[in-house]
Structure 1
Amino acid sequence: MAFDSGSAAFAPWEDPGQKPLISFKSVTKRFGNFTAIDNLTLDIFEKEFFALLGPSGCGKTTLMRMLAGFEAPSEGTIMLDGQDIGPIPPNKRAVNMMFQSYALFPHLSVADNIAFGLKRSDMPKSEIAGRVEEMLSLVQLSQFASRRPHQISGGQRQRVALARSLAKAPKLLLLDEPLGALDKKLRQETQFELMDIQEKTGTTFVIVTHDQEEAMTVASRIAVVNHGKLVQVAPPDRIYEAPNSIYVADFIGDVNIIKGLAKPESDNRYAIQWCENHAPIIGTSQHAFASDDICHFAIRPEKVSITRDRPTDRTNTMQGKVLEIAYLGNISTYHVELPTGQVIKAQQANNRRISRRSFTWHDSVWLSFTDTAGVLLSQ
């Protein structure tokens, strides 16, 4: 995770004295009768690796295009380093954008692709070659300087596009699905390269992606966007462990969601009546629920234990039958059908080299979890 957002060393969003680099202030964007961005307010800080995450059509690309200057807000203002950038044309903004297609010039060498924007800038010609070499070194492509784009791999082309985007030292770099064209293994490797480059340069990165795993890996904070609104903005660990809504819990990772009625017990502890003639689920919540409020208990599959015998040391236990098994190498996911018909997913690590499954289809098993393993959500 870029800059280790979980540490006190880098969390400017928690410091009231810190001024944001980017501020969306009550921004709305309409295309005819369609509202793409709906009264959105958001701050992004210097040196962040910030992710805009959401499904196709949620508005995240529109946000990026407004930052780049390709679209103008219908209402509200966008500030960059204290300046309203609305009237500033795209080529005059201290912003650069890297597209998914990379948009490299096929007839130019790697070095000339990186130098292209510098030759049209105010940089003295005598300094351009040194800057190009600096960028080649940053992305570890010095030995490929004279090659054409078709003579290097997809991952290397991605790094050339990144070097070209960073060459003019923008305050802000926008990345539009930058790894979408790479295969999964190369994409994972490149994510860490991106994080390393972002940390070395200190440039603020804003990435648009629909890939939850990618956002969780690279970002200091994630903004989950849906229908033009911010649903939750938080570091990845908070988004995953403490989602603020059913939408976020369901969108990020895998989750079990059980609907019930909240029965306050003591302090933050609740009994959740989820099915008649079944023991209530005991859970905790930082948000208050009144007696008989509708609630949703969300718990990740890796926090649900699966055993042959009923455990005696867990607050919550429920019996069921193995319906499906998904073997994913490092883990197995068991889909367990409860007597109510509801299916709960539990995960178990395969920590032996050749793992014999503990359970198979139609086995009777017990699921269990602690009272703090899940979160209680109202919506």
Structure 2
Amino acid sequence: MNATVFAPWVDPDEKPLIRFQNVTKRFGDFTAIDDLSLDIFEKEFFALLGPSGCGKTTMMRMLAGFESPSAGRIELAGQNIAPVPPNKRAVNMMFQSYALFPHLSVWDNIAFGLRRDNLPKHDIQDRVEEMLKLTRLEKFARRKPHQISGGQRQRVALARSLAKAPKLLLLDEPLGALDKKLRQDTQFELMDIQETTGTTFVIVTHDQEEAMTVASRIAVMDEGKLMQVATPDEIYEAPATVYIADFIGDVNIIEGRARATGENQYQIDWAEGQQPLIASSTRSFSNDQTCHLAIRPEKVAISSERPENAANVLQGTVHDIAYLGNLSTYHVKLPNGHMIKAQTANTRRIARRSFTWEDTVWLSWTATAGVLLES
């Protein structure tokens, strides 16, 4: 799905498939969801992302019908779904545990919901075969769940969830039980299946990488509130708050005081005895306002010579090195004790590192490389 073409959320005439309107959910004195409004559109692969206890699973359970909102309204395709019981909603849910029937074959697991709906035999046959093909499980059709791998069980659960052609599929940490390599492969399979079926997927995850990989948009949540709803690249490159910058990916956050030096240009006084930093920002800051400069390690250049003409230049010593195969991350300690991370891509096989522990190095970045955020 081409992201430049598929963006129903920017079209004011598009009607959302799901609409949360001022939804609050309380459990006794605890507020799990706090006056939350959100639109999700048809054919989106939408991610609810946040730490444990942020309210993302509660939102999913309300969509599925396992919980009712304490206040507010949830609509599916323009209809209030509060009075509709879970089994009558055009919504299916795939659980983290997969919840497959151990005594049934893969084929019968997928057919289970269709048989409950008393569909004609040939329709069930056709639909199950279609699902087996979609999830590439044809040759495992007669096996029981314990005779196949974790990744295959995950695909059976997905096929069973999609068999009834729901308008909306909810996925609760669906890849949590898989190892890293299999999880990455399965993420792309999920995206392909979602694109092929055109079903709207809403995934709950606490894994930032997973959300960034699969989702058309991400809602970052904390303590029952939406912190930012945007595309993965917007959330990474233009986080709305320090919390989001820190939550998504790796980041350096430098606190200081802003001073305007021109249109959208600021000088940041941040440490005694250090040159002010220079940053561009379309957000406006008053003079001496506390601000935070968030800058990703890959946007910080590291060199043994002082760079010419760079907007921001700092000197420090290499304190730590993390070698991740494709990347090396250098933790550089500044004279005032502040630590800055710089990342370089390992494009060639390295016989010898350019920098090693205790080396004196120069860090530099442009005025537009970081994002200036309010405290």
Q: Shorter-chain-normalised TM-score: which range? A: over 0.9
| 2:15 equivalent to 1:19 | yes
TM-score when scaled to structure 1? Answer: 0.98
Q: Of the candidates 138, 143, 158, which is equivalent to residue 139 of structure 2? A: 143
Partner of 2:226: 230
Work out which of the residue numbers 184, 194, 207 in structure 2 matches 1:211. 207
Q: What CA distance in whole angstroms lies between the structure 1 residues aligned with 2:374 and 2:351?
A: 40
Quick one: distance in 2 between partners of 1:338 and 1:353? 29
> Gapped runs of 5+ residues in structure 1?
none
Residues 239-264 of structure 1: CA distance to partner in whole angstroms, max 9, x if unpaired? 00000000000000000000011111
Stretch moving more, 141-150 or 121-130: 121-130
Per-residue deviation, 1:370: 0.4
Determine what percentage of the aligned residue pairs are the same residue: 73
Q: How does 1:31-42 map to 2 (within 5 A)?
A: 31-42=27-38
**Is the CA contact 1:307–1:365 (under 8 Å) kept in the aligned structure 2?**
yes
- What stretches of structure 2 of length at least 5 have no aligned partner? none
1:166 to 162, 165, 168: 162
Which residue of 74, 95, 103 corresponds with 2:99?
Answer: 103
1:319 aligned residue (293, 315, 320) = 315
Matched residue of 1:66: which SS?
A: helix
Q: C-alpha separation between the residues in 2 aligned to 1:257 and 1:336?
A: 14
Give yes or no for the alignment of 1:71 onto 2:67: yes
Tell which deviates more after alignment, 262-271 or 243-252.
262-271
- Structure 1 stretches of 4+ moved >2 Å: 122-126
- Aligned mates of 2:59, 2:30 — CA distance in 1: 15
| 2:289 corresponds to 1:310 | no
2:113 pairs with 1:117: yes
Tell me the amino acid that sits aligned with residue 331 of structure 1.
Answer: L
Shift of 1:355: 4.4
Q: 1:291 aligns with which of 287, 294, 310?
A: 287
Are residues 122 and 80 of structure 1, via their aligned partners in 2, closer, same or farther at CA, if it must alter by over 3 Å?
farther
Q: Offset of 1:125 from its aligned partner?
A: 2.8
Identify which of 339, 351, 354 aligns with 1:343.
Answer: 339
Q: Which residue of 1 aligns with 2:365?
A: 369
Task: Tell me if 1:44 matches 2:40.
Answer: yes
User: Which of 55, 80, 83 matches 2:79?
Assistant: 83
Offset at residue 122 of structure 1 (A): 4.9
CA distance in 1, matches of 2:263, 2:352: 43
RMSD, aligned CA: 0.8
State the alpha-carbon separation in 1 of the partners of residues 2 and 289 from structure 2.
37
Deviations 1:52-80 (A, max 9, x none): 00000000000000000000000000000
Classify the secondary structure of the residue corresponding to 1:314. coil
Length-normalised TM-score, structure 2: 0.99
SS state of the match for residue 217, structure 1?
helix
Cα distance in structure 1, aligned partners of 2:336 and 2:351: 31
The answer to whether the Cα contact below 8 Å between 1:4 and 1:220 also exists between their aligned partners in 2 is: no
SS at match of 1:339: coil
SS at match of 2:39: strand
Describe the SS at the equivalent of 2:73.
Answer: strand
Q: Which residue of 2 aligns with 1:183?
A: 179
CA contact (8 A) 1:48 1:220 kept: yes
The number of aligned residues is: 375
